[in-house]
Structure 1
Amino acid sequence: MLLAKELKKRGWKVEVFVLAQGGMLAEPLARAGIRVIHGFQRSSASASSTSADAKSGATPKTHLRVKAMLVLAAFATSLVVRIISTRPGVVHAWLPLTNFVGAVAGRIALAPLVISSRRSLGTYQERWPRLKRMDRVANRLSHVVVANSHAVAADTAARDGYEVDRIAVIPNGLDLSRFDEIGHRRDETRRRLGLNQDEIGIVIVANLIPYKGHEDLIEAFALATEKRSNLKLFMAGQDRGIGPELAKQAQRLGVGSKVHALGTQDDVPGLLAGMDVGVIASHEEGFCNALMEKLTAGLPVVATKVGGNPEAVSGMPGCVLVEPRAPADLARGLLAVLDRLPEPAVDQEFRQRTMRLRYSVGAMVDAYERLYLAGDR
């Protein structure tokens, strides 16, 4: 969305083509004057297939597979028609399923430049092997493959047998203007969260999903509190089913009163303004926006050594990398950062300034414009 909106401001004609109607980004795109095309609506074809499957006694698994193929075919056909009718200079697809459809449709419709995007490590291929085959097809049919970190580029090359030198690396961009005034919000946030002046707030912003490492973090936090009793841990993110188990774990380890699940937060910059240390405990990442937000807020961060995390914290003072799935090492990293508090103000300022230089929306869009224009020639 950030890329689309900024391209629109710079005079590009932009359309967003999506699989299904709705979604939280539809309204801001519409306000920016960007047309959103819905590639598939439930059709008589899908309805008739349901009826036919029922009559023929098809198994639910077979029915779902047939229905998924029909949806995908309808989506791809709609996209081919749209490309032929509008003749865009660039067809740029994002995420595994749409990479496949975008690359196939773009080539069939003879689009001048077809780009697919790898936004994460390919571990999802282990869970859904069919996507591995689709990724390889998308790679072959794309004129350019873009990764959002060097780690993702290397992973793509290794998993898909693709030459790493052919992958363009363009890091994520952040709307850094959201962080402009957070320096004045620390006291307000701490009062709201019940953080006393002598207490240290540790924060993780990640949906409650197993691979985000909350279980490791709670164990590491319990170890750290044995040496530092003035710690509180705040977990911001939607509970995807593991919240109750995490609460039981915290109680079992004797830190139940110090671990606070905040749920989804609309104002992440405001939350980070009241914190002292940020954590990324993930077992896998592509290029972590939550890590970028913590650094932009000026926080020292303890991050697992996965995906693009080492790239994001490279050269950042006060930040520590730890092994994934290793609570003891995570506790070590936490204590190393805590021992530096209060840290020099210049370290916080350096992290904030560096993030603005490296990862602004403007820098990201500049890189994509260069790619689009070079390919267009």
Structure 2
Amino acid sequence: MTDVTKILLVIRSLERGGTERHLLRTIPSVSNAQNKIEIFCFERPGELAPSMKALGVNVVTPPVSGWLHHVPLILKPFSTVWTCLYFLFYLFVKNPKIVHFFLPAAYLLLGPFSLLHVTSRKIMSRRSLNRYLAKYPGWVRKVEQSLHRRMDLILANSSSVFQELEENEHVPHEKLRLIYNGVSVSQDDAPALRNDVRAEFGLPDDTVVLITVANLLPYKGHADLVEACGIVAATRKAQFRWTLMAVGNDNVGLKATLETQAAKLGIAGNVHFVGKRTDIDRCLGAADIGVLVSHEEGFSNAILEGMAAGLPMIVSDVGGNPEAVMHNETGLVVPAKSPAELAEAIEYLCLNRDLAAKMGEAGRKRAISNFSIERSAKDYAAVYNSLK
């Protein structure tokens, strides 16, 4: 009988986000008779937890974790101590063979405590460039670098993240692995889906629909995109109907500012912030061009989802974006924080619809061949098997 390897994934929660959706797509197929995976959400289960459980992966949270999430600020230290102690207790009770950390909060808070469980192998997944360290005091960087030295493996989700870990954070090459995100490709009837969703949003068939899928956060570049759309609308060459659909949660109250910006540019009627959606595939099916112009990025699920939907993608030249989108083949890569060049790219694809469609089809084929869920899951399984 084959021994079962117990693996504990550690993350803040399974609220809907890029990393969380990535885990929901890949981890259930990795958890099997040989690898029994549980997910430890140290703050709260999150919106995707029921779906993860339905696919056979247990999701664990500390008792009363939901209540602790809402305690007054003065009690936060007590809730943090409780979370750390329960995590340590859980490690020794369940005795996993492998502990795998996702995202900085889980790594920085619970990574040091995991070292007390000396029999388990440790993995950290870095899913972005390390710009997030700028908001922390200098000692946090030292803690992270100390943890790096104690990890058995560190996973990067793009070559740019891999390179940063190796060259700037001095992680040995032999300790690093590259696992790209995976994406599923819809088999739905695309024309019918397009007509259905456009009817829902009241979009005429001849309207060029731009879509960006990203939570409303400053570094995601929405302000650059709105400014670029204003430039497109102002040029005499733009003899076409267009609209921008921005899908994403307003986490920090940025929507009002962006709407004011659009109004000042005279394009308020063309720009629609539709909020968080659970039917992103349907929204992509209504679009003609995908856009993601972040100021920083690791490797974006949103780009892969757009490619899988057959959209030509316009992306900024940061992080893993140029690794996903081949310039002039599956879309266009533009400099970050450059609304003027972004406007040129948008106008070019809008005026060359046949070329845009060919780029979109090439992107779809690239997503299928290079960034499948099956490939990503297989890579995770290989990493876990290497540590047995």
Q: CA separation of 1:207/1:249 partners in 2, compared to 1, >3 Å: closer, same or farther?
A: same
Deviations 1:291-311 (A, max 9, x none): 111111010111000111000
The one-letter code matched in structure 1 to 2:39 is V
The answer to whether the Cα contact below 8 Å between 2:42 and 2:65 also exists between their aligned partners in 1 is no
Counterpart of 2:58 (choices 22, 35, 56) is 35
Name 1:145's counterpart in structure 2.
154
Name 2:12's counterpart in structure 1.
none
Whole-angstrom distance in 2 between the partners of 1:208 and 1:172: 22
Q: CA separation of 1:336/1:24 partners in 2, compared to 1, >3 Å: closer, same or farther?
A: same
Matched, 1:211 2:222: no
Whole-angstrom distance in 2 between the partners of 1:42 and 1:341: 51
Q: Structure 2: any 5+ residue segments left out of the alignment?
A: 1-23
The answer to whether the Cα contact below 8 Å between 2:30 and 2:380 also exists between their aligned partners in 1 is no
The answer to whether the Cα contact below 8 Å between 2:312 and 2:357 also exists between their aligned partners in 1 is no
The answer to whether the Cα contact below 8 Å between 1:179 and 1:296 also exists between their aligned partners in 2 is no
The structure richer in helix per residue is: 1
Deviations 1:256-281 (A, max 9, x none): 11111111122111111111111112
Name 1:282's counterpart in structure 2.
294
Whole-angstrom distance in 1 between the partners of 2:356 and 2:271: 27
Q: CA separation of 1:21/1:119 partners in 2, compared to 1, >3 Å: closer, same or farther?
A: same
Matched, 1:93 2:105: no
The answer to whether the Cα contact below 8 Å between 1:189 and 1:270 also exists between their aligned partners in 2 is yes
Name 2:5's counterpart in structure 1.
none
Q: CA separation of 1:207/1:294 partners in 2, compared to 1, >3 Å: closer, same or farther?
A: same
The answer to whether the Cα contact below 8 Å between 2:211 and 2:246 also exists between their aligned partners in 1 is yes
Name 2:46's counterpart in structure 1.
23
Name 1:324's counterpart in structure 2.
336
Q: Which secondary structure state, in structure 2, belongs to the residue aligned with residue 257 of structure 1?
A: coil
Name 1:168's counterpart in structure 2.
177
TM-fit CA distance, 1:245? 1.4
Alignment of 1:48-63 (within 5 A): 63=74
Counterpart of 2:238 (choices 220, 228, 231) is 228
Q: CA separation of 1:242/1:42 partners in 2, compared to 1, >3 Å: closer, same or farther?
A: closer
Q: In the comparison of the two structures, how many residue pairs are matched? A: 358
Q: CA separation of 1:373/1:11 partners in 2, compared to 1, >3 Å: closer, same or farther?
A: closer
TM-fit CA distance, 1:344? 7.2
Identity %: 28
The answer to whether the Cα contact below 8 Å between 2:313 and 2:360 also exists between their aligned partners in 1 is no
Question: CA RMSD of the aligned region, Å?
Answer: 2.7
- The 10-residue stretch of structure 1 (80-89 or 197-206) with the greater mean CA deviation from structure 2: 80-89
Name 1:53's counterpart in structure 2.
none
Q: Which secondary structure state, in structure 1, belongs to the residue aligned with residue 124 of structure 2?
A: strand
Matched, 1:196 2:208: no
The answer to whether the Cα contact below 8 Å between 1:281 and 1:304 also exists between their aligned partners in 2 is yes
Q: Structure 1: any 5+ residue segments left out of the alignment?
A: 51-59
Q: CA separation of 1:178/1:24 partners in 2, compared to 1, >3 Å: closer, same or farther?
A: farther
Q: Which secondary structure state, in structure 1, belongs to the residue aligned with residue 352 of structure 2?
A: coil
Alignment of 1:292-331 (within 5 A): 292-314=304-326, 317-331=329-343
The one-letter code matched in structure 2 to 1:29 is M
Q: CA separation of 1:318/1:354 partners in 2, compared to 1, >3 Å: closer, same or farther?
A: closer
Whole-angstrom distance in 2 between the partners of 1:184 and 1:11: 42
TM-fit CA distance, 1:194? 2.3
Name 1:57's counterpart in structure 2.
none
Whole-angstrom distance in 2 between the partners of 1:71 and 1:159: 34
Report which of the two structures shows the higher radius of gyration computed on alpha carbons. 1
Counterpart of 1:239 (choices 250, 255, 262) is 250
The answer to whether the Cα contact below 8 Å between 1:91 and 1:102 also exists between their aligned partners in 2 is no
Q: Which secondary structure state, in structure 2, belongs to the residue aligned with residue 93 of structure 1?
A: strand
Counterpart of 2:268 (choices 244, 256, 261) is 256
Counterpart of 1:109 (choices 95, 117, 130) is 117
Whole-angstrom distance in 1 between the partners of 2:48 and 2:34: 21
